[in-house]
Structure 1
Amino acid sequence: MVVASGTNSYAKEMAIRKRIANIFNKREDDFPSLKEYNDYLEEVEDMTFNLIEGIDVPALEAKIAKYQEENAEQIINARARKAEELAAALAASKGQPAHADTTIDGAPSQNSLAGSGQSQYAPAIAGATLGQPRPTGMAPQPIPVGGGPDMQGYAADDKEMMKLRAERAGRAGGWSAELSRRRAIEEAFASVWI
């Protein structure tokens, strides 16, 4: 059956991607430059692809184990940060007010969650998943209020930084100012009647 093997390979790919994302969980702000971050993402994707396709698996597993050992503290901190963000998003979706106890970079501190009656973050055992509760029903989405981190985890920036992000997002989607100008000129000349 082709469907069963396709579903099985999809499940295998998703399991591998989830495992790798749990280990290689650095963000753009963990790197001094965008190029270094993109190189990191490319290396992680190459490893993921090779694991999925079964290419040089023993060497990749050794590399992953070495990375895990060398960066154990960073991995745990990133998992904790993600768990805190999920807990804050869950609290916001339930209409509970956000806590003022935050760290220097604007992310909620672990103390802010300890006093709120929510459970503390406990790191997952390798390969295990956190049983994060999910919001149920048709609760309205929370409206972001300035000062806290946005959906990507960045603190609210000034207008110049927001403009730069919007410009980068457009370029990532294949849009450019030149493309827009060229199209406007073509449409203008196409509408001229002689």
Structure 2
Amino acid sequence: MVAASSGNTFAKEIAIRKRISNIFNKREEDFPSLRDYNDYLEEVEDMTFNLIEGIDVAAIEAKIVKYQEENAEQIINARARKAEELAAAMKASMGNPAQAEPSDMGIGHTAQGQYAPALPGGGLAQPRPTGMQPVPVGGPHDPSHSYGAEDEETVKLRAARAGGWTVELSKKRALEEAFSSIWI
């Protein structure tokens, strides 16, 4: 019962947030200052929270209707701008980066349309090398060595070392714990 009710609450919150974001869709560049934009975001979040929690719903719904009437053109323009950006992103993901405008979201595309993270200077990161095998912690892999024949202690030590454990680390921790427990 609890899981079902939390799922319904989550679905309700998602629906409310989606509805509100489609109506209150202004961006930072739509405001004269960052302070005005942050005040707008705070007001929208307060209304969203109150709708989710069922606080003063009638007054908030009236405020939403009034806002929609007063800002209908701006809402439509913002939705169109969002649709254009989505279309450009879709073109870029389909392998047509020349037709799409560059995104300032830190994501670039290679000539084949594959994802490559963008570097701060605007270039693309180097691709990961392929065909290389990881080197085991104990040194280069010796094909004649059978890992299956190791005793249990060696297997545990190898796993611990792979996780970053060292004998020196163990000694240091034991000393810190011993001295931290001394009461003066």
TM-score, reference length from structure 1: 0.53
What secondary structure, in the 3-state scheme, does the structure 1 residue paired with 2:52 have? Answer: helix
Alpha carbons of structure 1 residues 95 and 143: separation in structure 2 relative to 1, 3 Å: farther
Task: State how far apart, in whole Å, the 2-side matches of 1:31 and 1:68 are.
Answer: 18
> Counterpart amino acid of 1:141?
Y
Shift of 1:53: 0.4
Structure 2, unpaired ranges of 5+: 104-112, 119-184
What residue is the counterpart of 1:130 in the other structure?
Answer: none
Task: State how far apart, in whole Å, the 1-side matches of 2:98 and 2:29 are.
Answer: 23
The structure 1 segments of at least 4 consecutive aligned residues displaced by more than 3 Å after TM superposition are 97-100
Greater C-alpha Rg: 2
Identical pairs, percent = 75
What residue is the counterpart of 1:15 in the other structure?
Answer: 15
Shift of 1:96: 1.3
What secondary structure, in the 3-state scheme, does the structure 1 residue paired with 2:115 have? Answer: coil
What residue is the counterpart of 2:69 in the other structure?
Answer: 69
What residue is the counterpart of 1:169 in the other structure?
Answer: none
Q: CA RMSD in A?
A: 2.6
Q: For residues 110-129 of structure 1, give each alpha carbon's deviation from its aligned partner in whole angstroms, at most 9, with x where no partner exists.
A: xxxxxxxxxxxxxxxxxxxx
What residue is the counterpart of 2:6 in the other structure?
Answer: 6
Task: State how far apart, in whole Å, the 2-side matches of 1:98 and 1:32 are.
Answer: 33
Task: State how far apart, in whole Å, the 2-side matches of 1:77 and 1:143 are.
Answer: 31
The answer as to whether partners of 1:26 and 1:78 remain within 8 angstroms in 2 is yes
Task: State how far apart, in whole Å, the 2-side matches of 1:5 and 1:28 are.
Answer: 36
Shift of 1:141: 1.9
Shift of 1:98: 3.8
Q: 1:52-63 maps to which residues of 2 (within 5 A)?
A: 52-63=52-63
Q: How many residues align?
A: 112
What residue is the counterpart of 2:179 in the other structure?
Answer: none
What residue is the counterpart of 2:172 in the other structure?
Answer: none
What secondary structure, in the 3-state scheme, does the structure 2 residue paired with 1:96 have? Answer: coil
The answer as to whether partners of 1:88 and 1:98 remain within 8 angstroms in 2 is no
What secondary structure, in the 3-state scheme, does the structure 1 residue paired with 2:67 have? Answer: helix
Partner of residue 115 from structure 2, selected from 141, 161, 179: 141
The answer as to whether partners of 1:23 and 1:68 remain within 8 angstroms in 2 is yes
TM-score, reference length from structure 2: 0.55
